[in-house]
Amino acid sequence: MLPQRPSFLPMSSSPRDAATPVVSAFYDRFPYPGDPLQDGPPPGYNWRWCVDSAMAAALGVLSAAPPSGTRTWRILDAGCGTGVSTDYLCHLNPGSTVLAVDISAGTLEVARERTRRSGAAQQVQELRIEQRSLLDLEQEDAFDYINSVGVLHHLREPEQGLRALARQLRPGGVLHLFLYADGGRWEIHRSQRALSLLEVGTGGEGLSLGRQLLRELPEANRLRRHHEQRWALDTAADANFADMYLHPQETSYDLDRLLRFVEQADLRFAGFSNPQVWDPARLLQGELLERARALPQRQQWALVEALDPDISHFEFFLSKGDVEPLEWTDAALLAHSGQRNRCLWGWPSTSLMGPDLEPLTIAAAQLELLQAFEAAPAGTPLGKLSLAMAIDERLLLARQLIAERLLLPVRP
Is the pLDDT at 196 greater than 70? The verdict is yes
Q: Is the pLDDT of residue 69 over 90?
A: no
pLDDT for 20 equals 78
Residues 184 and 178: their CA atoms lie apart, in Å, by 14
Q: Which of 201, 224, 245 is the last residue of a domain?
A: 245
Same-domain pairing of 336 and 388: yes
The answer on 26 and 152 residing in a single domain is yes
- pLDDT band for position 14 (cuts 50, 70, 90): very low
CA dist list (Å): 247 to 107, 200, 201: 15, 12, 10
Average model confidence (pLDDT) across the chain: 93
The predicted model gives 52-60 an average pLDDT of 96
pLDDT bin (cut points 50, 70, 90) of residue 324 is: confident
Looking at per-residue pLDDT, the higher value among 12 and 157 belongs to 157
List, for residues 101-123, the tens digit of each pLDDT value.
Answer: 999 999 999 999 999 999 999 99
Shared domain for 16 and 75, answered yes or no, is yes
Residue 10 has pLDDT above 60, yes or no: no
- Do 201 and 258 have their domain in common? no
Task: Tell me what pLDDT residue 177 has.
Answer: 98
| 3-state SS, residue 47 | helix
Over residues 283-301, the mean pLDDT reads 98
Same domain, 231 and 263: no
Minimum mean pLDDT among 20-29, 75-84, 199-208: which range? Answer: 20-29
Q: Identify whether 28 is part of a domain.
A: yes
Q: What's residue 276's pLDDT?
A: 96
> Strands 143-149 and 126-131: what pairing?
unpaired
Position 199 in a domain: yes
Residue 53 within a domain: yes
Mean per-residue pLDDT, 138-163: 96
pLDDT at 3 over 50: no
Helix (H, G, I), strand (E, B) or coil at 325: coil
Q: Are residues 263 and 143 in the same domain?
A: yes
Final residue in a domain of this structure, among 245, 273, 294: 245
pLDDT surpassing 80 at residue 349 = yes
Say what the pLDDT of residue 16 is: 67
Asked, for residue 352, whether it belongs to a domain, the answer is: yes
**Is pLDDT above 70 for 18?**
no
Higher-confidence residue: 2 or 109? Answer: 109
Kindly state the average pLDDT of the residues 69-76: 92
The answer to whether position 324 is within a domain reads no
Domain boundary pick from 222, 245, 268: 245
**Helix, strand, or coil (residue 298):** helix
Q: What is the dihedral of CA 387, 388, 392, 398, to 10 degrees?
A: -30
Output the domain CATH number for residue 131.
Answer: 3.40.50.150
CA dist 213 and 191 (Å) reads 9
| pLDDT band, very low/low/confident/very high, at 360 (cuts 50, 70, 90) | very high
Amino acid identity, position 45: Y
Same domain, 167 and 200: no
86: nearest Cα among 96, 71, 76: 76
Q: Tell whether the model's pLDDT for residue 5 goes beyond 50.
A: no
The reported pLDDT for the residue numbered 101 is: 98
Q: Are residues 261 and 338 in the same domain?
A: no
Dist. CA 61–CA 394, nearest whole Å: 18
* Within a domain: 325: no
271 and 394 together in one domain:
no
Q: How confident is the model at residue 327 (pLDDT cuts 50, 70, 90)?
A: confident
Q: How many domains does the chain have?
A: 3
Length of the chain: 412
Q: Can you give the pLDDT at residue 321?
A: 83
* Per-residue model confidence (pLDDT) at position 13: 42
Domain that residue 116 falls in: 5-182+252-319
The Cβ-side half-sphere exposure at 331, using a 13 Å CA radius, reads 0
Shared-domain flag, residues 37 and 70: yes
Q: What is the pLDDT of residue 323?
A: 78
Assess if residue 383 is contained within a domain: yes
pLDDT at 265: 95
Looking at the structure, do residues 122 and 223 belong to the same domain, yes or no? Answer: no
Find out whether 320 and 172 touch, Cβ atoms under 8 Å: yes
What mean pLDDT do residues 361-379 have? 95
Same domain, 132 and 166: yes
pLDDT over threshold 60, residue 346: yes
Mean pLDDT value of segment 264-273: 95
